[in-house]
Amino acid sequence: MVAAGNDFVLIDRAENNNTRFSKELIQKICDRKTGVGADGLMILQSHSGEELNIEFYNSDGSYGALCGNGSRCVIKYIRDKRSLNKGKVYFVFNGKQYHGFIDDSGTPVFNLQKPLKIDLNKVIEFDGIHVTGDFIDLNVPHFVININENSGLFSSNTNIDNVDVLRIGRKIRFAKEFAPVGVNVNFIDPGDENISVRTYERGVEYETLSCGTGSVASAISAFLHRDIKPPVNILTKSGEKLVVNFKYENNIFTNITLKGNAKIVFHGKFILN
């Protein structure tokens, strides 16, 4: 399945009861040269009424606490599987309950919980210079960097397409300030109509074509600094747009949603031996 360029292998446990998904097997499936190829793997672990338990793994086999784009894929899959055109889809991700729905246009909408932590204007050290960004934890930690506000890191005419996401993102992802769990790194360029975002994702250890929770963190950062009102349009590396909406009252974010297309690209079988 693909959501704004973020791709996943989705496996329904009901159809694979005897398969043990070890770290090595997950890495093998997600390998783009010798396997299926994906940014992550999701297992629909159990069925209990209308609620599902989702196991999510990054392409390196590490366990993921939450995936925004992956959640929209789950909503799409359940809608198609159960012909659920209306009503909410409930599921559990890493022990926490989430839900989403399909809107009138047929687009999956994912409802997120409020941020666990927001640390604005956090300063970290990078190659002897100081980089300022916003640390926003949405059950997935993100460090959001505005490329127009870090002159020591970027030149005045830096375009987001020219940002060295791999080099800078990898170093910040492993920076001591975020040890031991690390952080996802989002580079943003807020415009009049869209916020352009590029992301280095931990667990994938590479730039992905989009990041769902990273898009939400970027929208929150732009709102707090530039008062960009929701709904916020996010332009991803893939060229597709995501829409982030929320309410903000008494310094608290509520009703956070992530909207964007998700689609099933193909069905298939993976040979284990």
Residues that are catalytic: 67, 211
N residues, the chain:
273
**ω into 231 cis (within 30 of 0):** yes
Rounded to whole angstroms, the Cα distance separating 69 from 249 reads: 26
Rounded to whole angstroms, the Cα distance separating 88 from 80 reads: 13
Element (H, E) at 208: strand 206-208
Torsion of CA 94, 263, 208, 158, to 10 degrees: -130
- Residue type at 223 in one-letter notation: F
The rounded Cα 104 to chain-centroid distance in angstroms is 23
Rounded to whole angstroms, the Cα distance separating 75 from 198 reads: 24
Phi, psi of 70 (to 5 degrees): -65, -35
3-state secondary structure of 70: helix
Name the region of 152 (left: φ>0; alpha: ψ -120 to 50; beta: rest): alpha
